[in-house]
């Protein structure tokens, strides 16, 4: 133990010594990217942020724009250094568009990414509690993410979620043109209806500039409406024809590990959502199971993050949410026993297995034809590998 503490102390001291050097290198890279960006007047730069839905919005918008003209897509790696790398190594003046996902954490990340990209268009998906270690309240998270649209030039474009009050309120601080998407009557792209009943995928009824139409997708769950609408409205405002947008959206497949669908040899179905397991948003993620047409609905849950206070009440609440829409719920990982007080009430419907391999074996060894298994975890838990699922 003393040796371990010495090693930790040495590592901490070394990190403290080297961090200013690394920060200087990062700042130099951002400045170099910014200089290159200023010389590129041919490409339209688009930044996307939000607590959830930004990866799919980025990929979907990127697919629409790529079908129209040369486009660079900066996806999933969303730190400011990634934005700088996109600018320095990927974008050329031959690109008509560049779409970059940008994380709102840690603090100042958006400032740096904005400096590197200097986007013409800023898109905000939604505000949630996914960054509790950095920002203690939703308002603090919103204030940080709003920089993406507050910093836009007067000739820029802000694309905002009208249904999220914290996002909609960002309009008052914008000096550029603002457009909205959502169910609200003032939305430029208005959502009229959303349907996603498994095994059918998400279908939207929407209206834009007086024209109503249907948006067909391969996405699972109504929560993806935010990503679809954000991408579609941006593309339309950039002049992409509606029919071309709808064709790309209908052909688009979900990102791997973002509720991607995988068939099993037994004829069952996995819905893999193993990129992030935040306490906030769990109800929306689970909701697609409520009316799912399947002989059995199972849920595997890993370690829950981004919740305030002690673990137990939050695990118990998530367990109840899952058991309300699923036939059986399996918790795994080091915190799997947190909802054990509910075992008396739910008995065999609630299964608690700390070892992940054993939990996976329990599920894979007892699959029914057409059963749906929703797998929800984080990248560090690597459920994709444990279930042998590939891109």
Q: How far apart are the C-alpha atoms of 333 and 302, rounded to whole Å?
A: 6
The kind and range of the H/E element at 317 are helix 311-323
Task: State the average pLDDT over residues 3-13.
Answer: 52
Task: Render pLDDT for 305-323 as a digit per residue (tens, 0 to 9).
Answer: 877 678 899 999 999 999 9
* Per-residue model confidence (pLDDT) at position 239: 98
CB 319 within 8 A of CB 350: yes
Q: Between residues 132 and 264, which one has the greater pLDDT?
A: 264
Task: Render pLDDT for 107-121 as a digit per residue (tens, 0 to 9).
Answer: 788 988 889 899 999
* Per-residue model confidence (pLDDT) at position 80: 66
Question: Is the pLDDT reported for residue 43 higher than 90?
Answer: yes
Tell which residue, 278, 345, 335, 372, has the closest CA to residue 50.
278
Residues 354, 357, 359, 364, Cα dihedral to 10°: 180
What does the DSSP 8-state code read for residue 381? Answer: G
Q: pTM for the whole thing?
A: 0.90
Task: Render pLDDT for 290-309 as a digit per residue (tens, 0 to 9).
Answer: 999 999 999 999 999 877 67
* Per-residue model confidence (pLDDT) at position 305: 84
* Per-residue model confidence (pLDDT) at position 1: 43
How are beta strands 203-208 and 211-216 bridged, if at all?
antiparallel
* Per-residue model confidence (pLDDT) at position 72: 94
Question: Is the pLDDT reported for residue 251 higher than 80?
Answer: yes
* Per-residue model confidence (pLDDT) at position 192: 98
Band of pLDDT at residue 173, cut at 50, 70 and 90: very high
Band of pLDDT at residue 131, cut at 50, 70 and 90: low
What would the two tokens of residue 143 be?
């204030």
Task: State the average pLDDT over residues 89-96.
Answer: 89
Question: Is the pLDDT reported for residue 22 higher than 70?
Answer: no
**What integer best gives the mean pLDDT of the chain?**
90
High-pLDDT (> 70) share of the chain, %:
89
Question: Is the pLDDT reported for residue 9 higher than 70?
Answer: no
- 255-263 contacts at long range (C-beta below 8 A, 24 or more positions apart): 255/55, 255/56, 255/59, 255/76, 256/384, 256/391, 257/379, 257/384, 258/55, 258/56, 259/219, 259/220, 259/221, 259/224, 259/285, 260/389, 261/220, 262/387, 262/389
Task: Render pLDDT for 315-362 as a digit per residue (tens, 0 to 9).
Answer: 999 999 999 999 999 999 999 999 999 999 999 999 999 999 999 999
Question: Is the pLDDT reported for residue 3 higher than 60?
Answer: no
Question: Is the pLDDT reported for residue 42 higher than 50?
Answer: yes
Task: State the average pLDDT over residues 216-231.
Answer: 97
Please report the sign of the dihedral spanned by the C-alpha atoms of residue 51, residue 55, residue 58, residue 61. negative
* Per-residue model confidence (pLDDT) at position 278: 84
What would the two tokens of residue 127 be?
């505000």
* Per-residue model confidence (pLDDT) at position 116: 87
């Amino acid at each position: 133990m003393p040796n371990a503490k010495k090693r930790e102390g040495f590592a901490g001291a070394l990190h403290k010594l080297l961090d200013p050097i690394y920060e200087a290198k990062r700042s130099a890279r951002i400045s170099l990217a910014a200089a290159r960006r200023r010389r590129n007047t041919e490409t339209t730069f688009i930044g996307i942020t939000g607590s959830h839905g930004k990866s799919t919005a980025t990929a979907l918008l990127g697919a629409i724009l790529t079908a129209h003209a040369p486009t660079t897509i900066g996806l999933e790696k969303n730190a400011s250094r990634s934005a700088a790398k996109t600018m320095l190594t990927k974008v050329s003046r031959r690109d008509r568009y560049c779409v970059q996902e940008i994380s709102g954490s840690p603090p100042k990340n958006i400032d740096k990414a904005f400096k590197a990209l200097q986007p013409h268009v800023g898109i905000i998906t939604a505000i949630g509690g996914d960054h509790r270690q950095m920002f203690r309240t939703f308002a603090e998270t919103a204030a940080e993410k709003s920089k993406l649209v507050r910093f836009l030039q007067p000739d820029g474009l802000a694309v905002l979620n009208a249904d999220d009050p914290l996002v909609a309120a960002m309009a008052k601080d914008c000096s550029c043109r603002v457009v909205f998407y959502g169910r609200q009557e003032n939305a430029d792209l208005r959502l009229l209806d959303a349907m996603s009943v498994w095994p059918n995928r998400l279908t939207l009824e929407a209206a834009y500039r007086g024209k109503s139409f249907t948006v067909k997708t391969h996405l699972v769950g109504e929560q993806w409406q935010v990503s679809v609408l954000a991408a579609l409205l941006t593309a339309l405002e950039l002049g992409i024809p509606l029919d071309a947008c709808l064709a790309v959206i209908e052909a688009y497949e979900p990102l791997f590990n973002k509720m991607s669908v995988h068939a099993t040899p037994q004829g069952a179905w996995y819905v893999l959502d193993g990129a992030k397991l935040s306490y906030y948003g769990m109800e929306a993620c689970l909701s697609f199971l409520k009316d799912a047409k399947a002989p059995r609905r199972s849920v595997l849950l890993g370690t829950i993050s981004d919740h305030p206070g002690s673990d137990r009440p939050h695990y118990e609440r998530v367990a109840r949410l899952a058991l309300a829409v699923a036939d059986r719920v399996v918790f795994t990982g080091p915190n799997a026993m947190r909802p054990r007080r509910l075992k008396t009430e739910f008995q065999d419907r609630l299964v608690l297995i700390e070892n992940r391999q054993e939990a996976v074996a329990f599920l894979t060894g007892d699959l029914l034809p057409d059963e749906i298994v929703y797998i929800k975890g984080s990248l560090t838990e690597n459920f994709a590998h444990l279930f042998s699922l590939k891109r």
